Each structure stands twice: as C-alpha cells, then as structure tokens.
Structure 1
C-alpha cells in the first residue's frame, strides 16, 4: 500500500492496520523463541556393529542384545573380576556394551593430526572427529563450506580414562606436550571447531548421564537466538580403564548378570556401555529453505536439577514432573498428544518406580487406559552409554519415526511389583509393533536423569518432507569421487558400487548431484560418466578390478590449478553435453576447481544419504616403557647423538655381552660428542639437498606418512603442523644442524623448499663465523 493510500484511510483503520502489524511482529518474535529445530543428519558408533544409522535401526528392529564380555584390550577383566560384590578393588561383572571397532586405530592424517600427537589423543576425541564428519556427510553439508561459519559444537563428555592410562603406563615420563590438549574434555569440542574452522559456540558439557541431552538443549537455544545457524550435537563415552567400574561396583550400581532389565522385577543395576552419536541441527525454516532432508524436529526441551533430595544421586519425582511439564510448555504440545517415551531406565530398583510415576502424572493426565503411553529404553539393547546415552535414545526415536515402528524393549519378564501397572496408563512394548500415527504427526519424549542431579527432557516430532523434485532429465551424468589416499579412493568406489547395486531404483541424477555438490573433494580423484545406475555400477566394478573402461578417469590433483572451470550456459540450444562432461572430467582429475552447482542450475535434484568416507586406520596408542623409534635410522641416531636410541637399535640386531655394550656405549659417547672435531665436519658437508631431504624425512616421521607424500612446495599448515609440532621439529633441527632453529621459522618460511634454503644460508654463515674465530 502506498503512503497516499494509507493516508486516505480513516484513523480507526490506520490504527487497526498498525495493531495488525505489531501483532505480526510479536507473533514472529514468539515463533522465533519456540521455532522447531530440524535434525538433518546423524552419525553413530554404537555396540553391536551399529556403525551407521541404518545398522543401528536393524539392531533395534531385530531386538538384538549387544552386551558382550569386556574385551581384553580394555583391562585385565580376570584380574579385576570377583563375583562377590563386597570384595574391595574388584568388579562383580565382566559385561559391557562395547564397540566392535579397535579403539587404538585412527587415521590422524585425514584430520591434520601428526602421528606423534595421535598417540596422546584420547580415543573419544578421535571417535568424535570421525562420527561428526560422517554426520555432516549424512546431512549433505559439505565441510569446507562451513569454514568460518557460525556453526556451533555442543558435546556431552564426562570420562577421562585415557589420561589415567597414560599416567599408569609410564607416569610422568609418558606425558608430552600433546597430553594436555589430547585429554582435556573442553578440547573435545574445540578440536572439532578448529578442524572444520567453525566460528560458533563450542562447548563440552558434563552433567554425567544427561550430558548429551543437556548439550542438545543448549544447542537449540543458541540456534533460536541466532548465535549459530548450524549445530553439531552429540555425546561420546568409552570404557578404557577399570577405575570407574570398580567405584560403581562399590555402590552396587552395576548389574551382575550383564543385562539392563529396565522395568523388570529382577532389575538390580545397569550395564556400562560405550559409543558415540552426533546429529546435525538447523532451524526448521532454514532447513526447509535449503531443501534439506529433515529426519525429525525438536519441538521443545527443558533442563532442571533435583535440588535437595534424599541423597545427591537419588532421583526426585516432583523435579522430574516439573521438568516434563516445562518441556511440553516450551514445545506447545499437550501431554495426551505424545504417544511414546524413551525413558532414562537405568534398571535401578529405586529409580524405576519414581520415573514411571512421574511420567504417568504428566503424560497420563486425561489419557484413557485403552490408549496407554508406550515406554521403553534403548539401554536394554546397548547398555547405558552415560554421557552418550541421551543421544542414543534420541537417535532410536528418530529412526522409529522414520520407519513407523516401535522396536522391542528387551529383558522384561516379570514387571516390577513396585509399579502399579494396572492403574497407570503406561505399557512396555516387548515386540516390534507399528507406531500408529492417527491424524497428526507422531510425537515422543526422551528423558535423561543423571546422578549429578541435572535432568533433561526433549519433545520430538516426526516430519514429512515435501515430495521429491521433478528430477533432472539428461542422457549422461558424471559422478566425482575423491579421497585423501589411493587406498581410501578404492574403498569408497567399492562402497558406491555396492550402494548402486543395492538401490537400483534411485535416480542417477540425484546420486551424482549429491556426491558432486555435497561432499568434499580431495587430491585422489575419480570421475565416471554413465547413462544409468547399472552402467555406473559396472564401471566402478571395472575400476575395482583394475580394468580400463571408457568414460572413467582417475588422477591425483595438484595444487597448480587455482582457477575455476567455467561452465557454459546449459540452456543454450547448441550445447554439447558430452563435450562439457569430458572437459569437466579431465579438469577435475587434474585439480581444477569445478563449480558443481553450475551443472545443476535449477536445483531439481533430491538430496540422498550416500556412503561415508572410508577411514584408513592404523594403531596409535600409549605404550609401556620406552619404545625404539623404527623410523630413525642408525646413521640418524649417530648424527643426532642419540646414544640410547642407537644402543637399542644395535641390541635388536646383534648379540653382544653386557661388557661389550658398555664399551660400545662409551665409544658412541665420544663419537657423538658435540665438540667441533666430528660434529662440525659432518655439518659442513651438508648440502641444500641434504637439508631438504632431512626436513622431508622429519616431517613425514612426525606426521606418520611416507616421505613421498610430502610436497616441498606445499604450505606447512596443509600437513596439520601446529605450534607444538613446530617446536619438536625445531629442536630436532638444532641437533641435526648445530645452529639455532626457532619454531617461528616454520611461520616465516612456510614451505620445506623455502625453509631449506634459509637453513642452508644460516648454516653457511655459522661455518664462516667458526672459521674466522
């Protein structure tokens, strides 16, 4: 309406219009305070081989109990086990919900972490890096596009077992500069933000069992307050040392039989479990605008504390009721509309009746007995994951909503007699049952009550995505795959081949669009053109078998192509689509930047959940005693004056008497004495090439990669070299060259080629000064 039209209205009409505008603004403000938060991606690593959401759902649907004997690589279970719960220093159970993956394996190079640092890095931080990356891939959020973005990280974490192991293995002698950052709980969140270059809030939350749901509550608040626009939320927990289990055994908190028997008359404790889950969140309005695949929405949440209870760790029924009512109010949801609750359910005789009565008091209000509230616990499948338990519960409900089924609650044989099952409108499903939808979206609640007294409750709603776009009609499509190593590229190709064979109904355009525009692009590259999913799967299979095939090209990208390939106007009638794809293919494998979005100008493709990146893990673990550095040659040991190292190396190669070793040690001490006689002669003979080769070898050793993978023209930060590694390399350089080497040199001379030239100049100058003296 123009100003003239507005002025022609009567004062009353203008006032009414002003009121309507003010009301609209107030409504917008109120909506922003309670806007639903969309879950757009998930990644997980749970017991029973549940290494992705699909595998986790299969475990839940099939009613699998994933509790096993605690693996021997965690601690000596035989030494700590005693069936008598009153035996001091012992644990009366051998069971746990343990991961099937080896926890000592990791691919640090992918995350720019050196091999040296990886050994001091808490496996919980390692797991979070991997699972967060998988969650972003699942959400089709290209990580490099998040650089410098207002993306938040909110993680639940409460255990510090690896730090205990380091001290127990070798005491203070095993502690290095990386132990501090590698084992601080705060850095678990900070490392994710650092690696991805995120500028939003970054918090590690420790409220014990409620940690990950409290982190989720905080993330939703930050998103609604516009303090971040995307959020990574999750929890992690690993069982690495026995101390906490010994302590819990003293309090009789653990189940001796190795079952979480939630709601059962025989419930007498819980089973400790481990795992990691990460979800990706956006405001619902943003997720819809970005055409994300929305898995579910968080309608509301609340956090409170028990306050003064019968004891610090005892649950409090009134506080639980107040918490649930607050979460429902925040969600603008009536209690009777919620049909399922994922309970805390830690299988304690004290907590079970209190929790059920609190749920019935709130959710049972005006609920007919013939329409009971369904309740269950994922802990009966995988154990109690403590700091990660809440995120596991949430992911269970998201998957159940997607599949329209409620998976069975296990180990309920004789209902707890202290719960009045006849009068309370609640029911525990012990078989896989359909989740009736009714005339509205399914709604569920998730509870987490912790022994710290801090409680959390989440209200979750299913979401129906809009129908898939009309699709993209082209005669030929290109799939671009890449990895940081050739081995990973081969495995990724095999995963895509399996995916294509298992999902022949999928649209090829959607597959290629998602892979090309929503995934990161790394140096080792493969580009394939095909007209159908069947043809594409066949070409990937040929690559796996080492066969040459038309329409498939591979190569390693270089850093010499900063320019971007210009995509011609695709609406032109004279377009030669096959020629364009051939140009894209050859440019891509060389390393030219491709504007993939320009190939899909109308955004007509659906976003799919494609295979995750395949990790190339190797062992990185704290070892007992002093280890021989196999990467250091005998010649290097002599040059660096490392007598102890050289003695160990020779000891492993020859059988000499103790007297002979003593004489050899004395001889080596004299040979490596830093007097000018030997050392200066060695250093004066060093050339620029020698120094460059030494730097390549030293950096490769620190990073745990092959020297051939080091490019002398590449910046140091591309290898993940940080200040602590710079100190390590500078110290080694001083020993090798005999001149002052500052860690700042790696900043001022940021490549091996430039630094080598500088060090050669410095070395020559030092030799001239020595000669003049």
Structure 2
C-alpha cells in the first residue's frame, strides 16, 4: 500500500511538473503571438513636395492642400483628355489630382541597374526600392550590412499598365520587361538588392494594400519567420485611365479633393504616393539600440463577403475588422484616442464607415471624444499607399504631440447621426500631449475596392525609447563624414544635407555627426568636414556641394581593390594633443 502511494505521489509530481512546463510554453507562445512590433524607420514620397516623413508632417502641420494640375511630363494628350460637356468616351471632366513630381527620376547606377533595365522597370517598383533604402537609413541601419539577414519584404502596388505590351516593346528593353513589370518582382527586387533572405511578398488589395502588407509583416515577425521587415505600398498612375473610368461612374470629386465626412463630400480625389516602414520586434529594437518611433499593437484583415455590391462597402465587415484588431492588441475601444479613417469623401463610403466607427469606438466619455481625421484631405487618395500614409501621419503626430486638422471638413456630413456616439472631426489642429497616466494610441483603417478590409492599432513609443532632451554642445571639434557612389552624388548629398539642416536649426551638430558616422553606408567617393561649430560645418558642406576646396574639408576616394590599400601609422602622443 505504501509503495502504491509513493508511486502515485511520484506520478502526480511528474504530471504537475509537465503541466507547469506546458503552461509556460503556452504562455510563451501567446506572448510571441501578441508581442508588440516597433516601427524603427520610415520613408515616403507624396504630392506637394512631401519627399520624406518630416516633409509630410510639415505639409500637414501647415494645413496645405497638395492637389494640383495633371502632369505634363508623361505624354498624356491633355487637350483631348478633358471634356466637360459632351461626355465623349476616353475623356474626363477632372483636371486635378495628387501627383508625384519627376516619377521618371531614378538613380539606376546607385542600385547597379543598367539604363536599359531601369527603363523597363515600372516606376512603382523603382519608388519602392528607393524608399526601402531610405527607410532603413532613417532607422539607423546600414542597408549594405543586411546580406543574409532574415528580413521580410511585404510591399504592394496597384497599377500594371506601364509601357507597351511585351510583344510590341522596342528592342532597347527586350529581356527586362518581365522583371520590370510583374508584381512579384516589386518585393523580390528589394530583397535581392539588400540580400534579405526572409519572405518577399507583393500584395494588391487595392486601397487597403499597404495595411494588408503591414499586417503580414507583423505576423511574420511575431511567428519568428522574419527578424526584421519592410512593409509599404506605392501607386503611380501611368495613364489617365483611372480618371476616365471613375469619372464615368460618378465617383470622383469635380475639384479633385477628398472632403472626408464633410457635408460637401462629393467624391474621391485620386493621387499617387509611396511609403515604406521598417519593423522589428520591440524587444529586438531595444536590444539593438534602435530608436522606436511607435509600436504596432494589433492588426486585422477581413473581407466584406456577399455585400450589396462587389465594390460596395460593408458596415458589419468594417465593425468586425475593427473589433478583431482591438482584440489582437488586447485593448478596448476606449483605449484609442484617434482614428485615421479611410475617409475618401464619397457619398456612399463615408457614411458607412462613420456608422461602423460610431458602433465600435463611439461609446466613450463625453469629455474624451474619439478624434477622426483623414490625410487624404491633404494629399488625395493614394490608393496602394493610402494606409501607410496614414500610419506615417500618426507616427509623426505621436512624436510631435499634435493631431493635424482634416481639410474641407468644417461641416460634418448630415448623412451621419453624429449624436449616436462621442466622435469629433478634426476640423482644427488638436494638442495630443504625452501623459504619465495614459498611453496614447491611434488606429488606421483601409478598405479595398475588392472588399478586403484592414485595421491597425498603433501606440506611442515606451517612455525609455523617447529621444533624450537636448544637452549642451561640447567644445571639441566635430567631423561630418559623407560618402556617395560618384562625385556628382556626393555634391548632391552635401547640398541636400545642408538644406535639411538650414530648415532644422534645432538639430545638434554632434547628433548629425553620430548619424553620418554610424547609420550611413560607406561608399567610395568621400568627404570629411571638420569644424568646432555649426557655421564651420555648414560652410564645409557648401564647399563639397560646389566642388570647392576649404581648410576644414578633406576629400578622397576609397580603394575598391582587395588588398590594394596603403597602411598609415598615427602616433597620437600623450596628454591633450588628441581631444577625446
């Protein structure tokens, strides 16, 4: 009997230990499945000269309208295209949109791409390649060091009509048309150029594309499939066909502007753009010392299903995707302060979206309303890049502690019962300060014409990841190293950096020195500017830009031949001869 009791006790002890191990493994799996994902870098191009996240924020802070005339550098027959009276086929009454400048401008040599191949590459692919590189540098990651890294690439684009059909293409681009135009290469080329070995997936769910790409990137990071990821989307309209088709359907605003949730909403304003985010698990970002811009807490994707029309939005489906994203984040609706809405300004879509938001986010205290905005009011509906544009806007709003106003929305839509919940349109800028007792959070919505919906929940960076306050500059000389792939590119980089610093006088010279030395790729053509203050350093940049010599400027070219360099010895002495 005693022996049986001992065996039973031993068995129960083993079972208890096994249960504890199982519980621990389950908890670890749950933690991995819901772990926060850090946004550590961003880059973008949008209309109105918004060629970086900071330039986009400046546009939003100033309340500027980026919509303008049709481009004249794409070979469009504008005289035949515009027709306001007869309704001839192939014409449109719309004369404005949100267009990118110089979509043909691409530094093919920088990426080791021949002129013939570059010509065959559709601009969306080029823009995604450029902004992926820029986003990595914004994250403080040298793109040339990523060969073999398990990095995922999840990017999307919409249009597939660049250039002539393959069978009619000129001899000058034959052999490059497949890789230059098929959607899969948009992600594959980025992975190839950087040497990334994680999944490379191209996405097209229309207007929800970049949020779906972000959702896939988050899932890949949480599962351990990727150790870092790029996510985003691009849209370039190669022909005016989008305007012709949507105008014929009556879906476009006559003035080309999105008036989200406003009484004057009368259709979409079509636009172009590109945006890319660099993502890491929050724990990895902290371990690597990367600056955390914001955190992705939750994401969700679903489909309208059998709604009242193939392209018609579904309110119930939108409610479900919002609820799923909040559940993925482990949050309630009252934890979110603001929503960057899809908000295209259509008579059908906006009321459906507003009612879904009221049903999910609207039940909250009267003194803490949900702020509702749409970046489309400034830059237009950028389609595959619309979701990432909203994410970049909110990340910048978190950093600047301010929510920019939505244009053209002074009077809320009368087709929505706004009294059904506590939601307010951002008709003016609103302060959004960091607080000790409340974490700031925001959400972004995207709804595709095919019925694919996406919702993303963002959160401010943890307090210990916030950039430190400015301190006193030391008196020691500083060195600003520059490098590029050609003398012309080196001069352009110096000019661009000088322009950036002139516009941002609050940037500390020592921080600029650290960023240039540790977060940029070292190319063969180099210059080093040395100075004891901002004026010395800026004058050195001007000399590099103009091709002049200066007493505090050194130029040189690094040898690219293995073993071909020369050895130098530095006898630094003792004491104060060598500061630092």
TM-score (norm 1): 0.68
**Structure 1 residues 553, 325: CA separation in 2 closer, same or farther (over 3 Å shift)?**
same
In structure 1, the partner of 2:375 is 378
The CA deviation string for residues 462-517 of structure 1, in whole angstroms up to 9 with x for no partner, is: 11325649999793443321111101111222333445555566554433232122
Identify the range of structure 1 (31-40 vs 120-129) with the bigger mean alpha-carbon deviation. 120-129
**Structure 1 residues 551, 71: CA separation in 2 closer, same or farther (over 3 Å shift)?**
closer
Q: Tell me the secondary structure at the aligned position of residue 126 of structure 2.
A: helix
Is the aligned partner of 1:434 residue 2:434? no
Residue 341 (structure 1) shift: 0.6
**Structure 1 residues 27, 467: CA separation in 2 closer, same or farther (over 3 Å shift)?**
farther
Alignment partners' CA distance in 2, 1:545 and 1:341: 46
Q: Tell me the secondary structure at the aligned position of residue 266 of structure 1.
A: coil
Give the counterpart of 2:414 among 411, 414, 417: 417
Alignment partners' CA distance in 2, 1:231 and 1:567: 40
In structure 2, the partner of 1:139 is 139
Alignment partners' CA distance in 2, 1:563 and 1:22: 58
**Structure 1 residues 505, 208: CA separation in 2 closer, same or farther (over 3 Å shift)?**
closer
Q: Tell me the secondary structure at the aligned position of residue 416 of structure 2.
A: coil
Residue 225 (structure 1) shift: 1.0
Aligned positions of 1:152-301 closer than 5 A: 152-163=152-163, 166-167=164-165, 176-301=174-299
In structure 1, the partner of 2:559 is 558
In structure 2, the partner of 1:452 is 450
In structure 2, the partner of 1:124 is 124
Alignment partners' CA distance in 1, 2:566 and 2:86: 69
Contact 1:307 1:453 in 2 (8 A): yes
Q: Tell me the secondary structure at the aligned position of residue 33 of structure 1.
A: helix
Larger radius of gyration: 1
Q: Tell me the secondary structure at the aligned position of residue 347 of structure 1.
A: coil
Contact 2:491 2:545 in 1 (8 A): yes
Structure 1, unaligned runs of 5 or more: 1-9, 582-773
Residue 116 (structure 1) shift: 1.3
Contact 2:527 2:544 in 1 (8 A): no
Q: Tell me the secondary structure at the aligned position of residue 560 of structure 2.
A: coil
**Structure 1 residues 321, 566: CA separation in 2 closer, same or farther (over 3 Å shift)?**
farther
The CA deviation string for residues 132-186 of structure 1, in whole angstroms up to 9 with x for no partner, is: 11111111110111111111111111112313xx249966777611111111111
**Structure 1 residues 504, 11: CA separation in 2 closer, same or farther (over 3 Å shift)?**
farther
Aligned positions of 1:457-496 closer than 5 A: 457-463=455-461, 464=463, 465-466=465-466, 468=468, 475-496=476-497
Aligned positions of 1:453-602 closer than 5 A: 453-463=451-461, 464=463, 465-466=465-466, 468=468, 475-500=476-501, 506-544=507-545, 547-562=548-563, 574=574, 578=578
Alignment partners' CA distance in 1, 2:274 and 2:35: 27
Residue 344 (structure 1) shift: 0.8
Aligned positions of 1:634-653 closer than 5 A: none
Give the counterpart of 1:396 among 363, 376, 393: 393
**Structure 1 residues 84, 435: CA separation in 2 closer, same or farther (over 3 Å shift)?**
farther
Residue 552 (structure 1) shift: 2.7
Contact 1:85 1:92 in 2 (8 A): no
In structure 2, the partner of 1:106 is 106
Alignment partners' CA distance in 1, 2:86 and 2:374: 26
Alignment partners' CA distance in 2, 1:478 and 1:13: 65
Structure in which a larger fraction of residues adopt helix: 1
Is the aligned partner of 1:326 residue 2:324? yes
Alignment partners' CA distance in 2, 1:221 and 1:569: 51
> Highest relative contact order (Cα 8 Å, sep 6+), 1 or 2?
2
In structure 1, the partner of 2:35 is 35
Residue 242 (structure 1) shift: 2.0
Residue 562 (structure 1) shift: 3.9
**Structure 1 residues 502, 70: CA separation in 2 closer, same or farther (over 3 Å shift)?**
closer
Alignment partners' CA distance in 2, 1:508 and 1:436: 27
Aligned positions of 1:347-362 closer than 5 A: 347-362=345-360
Alignment partners' CA distance in 1, 2:24 and 2:532: 51
Residue 30 (structure 1) shift: 1.5
Alignment partners' CA distance in 2, 1:566 and 1:23: 59
The CA deviation string for residues 604-659 of structure 1, in whole angstroms up to 9 with x for no partner, is: xxxxxxxxxxxxxxxxxxxxxxxxxxxxxxxxxxxxxxxxxxxxxxxxxxxxxxxx
Residue 374 (structure 1) shift: 1.1
Alignment partners' CA distance in 1, 2:466 and 2:103: 40
Alignment partners' CA distance in 2, 1:320 and 1:85: 39
Alignment partners' CA distance in 2, 1:296 and 1:176: 44
TM-score (norm 2): 0.90
Give the counterpart of 1:310 among 298, 308, 311: 308
**Structure 1 residues 155, 51: CA separation in 2 closer, same or farther (over 3 Å shift)?**
same
Residue 197 (structure 1) shift: 1.2
RMSD value over aligned CA atoms?
3.1
Alignment partners' CA distance in 1, 2:302 and 2:311: 14
The CA deviation string for residues 547-601 of structure 1, in whole angstroms up to 9 with x for no partner, is: 544453212222235489999999x99588749x9xxxxxxxxxxxxxxxxxxxx
Alignment partners' CA distance in 2, 1:369 and 1:55: 35
